[in-house]
Amino acid sequence: MGSEDRYHKTFTVSWEQIQRDCKALAWRLLDRKWERIIGIARGGLIPAAIMARELDVKLVDTVCISSYTMKRQGELQIIKNIDTSSKGEGWLIVDDLVDTGKTAKVVREMFPEARFATVYAKPEGKPYVDTYVTEVSQDTWILFPWDAEAQYSDPISMRKD
């Protein structure tokens, strides 16, 4: 199924909204002191930074996995892993979104004892994460502020579509 068939709605997230949602996620994770936060690059980098601040975690690392080219999800490629023998006890894995769960499944296998938190979750991916803030439908494309820019838009009365 192509991206044109897969996504029927768009959910636009502003910088303010992602910060509010990350803070809401942090509130759900105050049950322990986290040793390390692992942000899944690239989408999880900004949420991981916000979470590190809110949870007072000084050690932040990344796992880099490539799966998307624009709206197409393809083959997973592990670009950067963490050189450790740890299974992730006391670690918090953070990503912006769990979609199909393919990336989450790979990261879960790397660090089976870590807690996995995402800001947004879709039904297919929910079983792979422990905590999330907002569920969106599977056919929704989430447009994050780091993937968008403000630009001029004609008034509705002037549009021909």
List the catalytic residues.
95-96, 99
Amino acid (one-letter) located at 44: G
Q: What is the SS3 assignment for 56?
A: coil
Radius of gyration of the chain (CA): 17
Amino acid (one-letter) located at 1: M
b (16+ CB within 10 A) / e for 69-91: eeeeeeeeeeeeeeeeeeebeeb
Nearby residues of 97 by Cβ (< 8 Å), 6 or more positions away: 43, 118, 119, 120, 121, 122, 125, 142
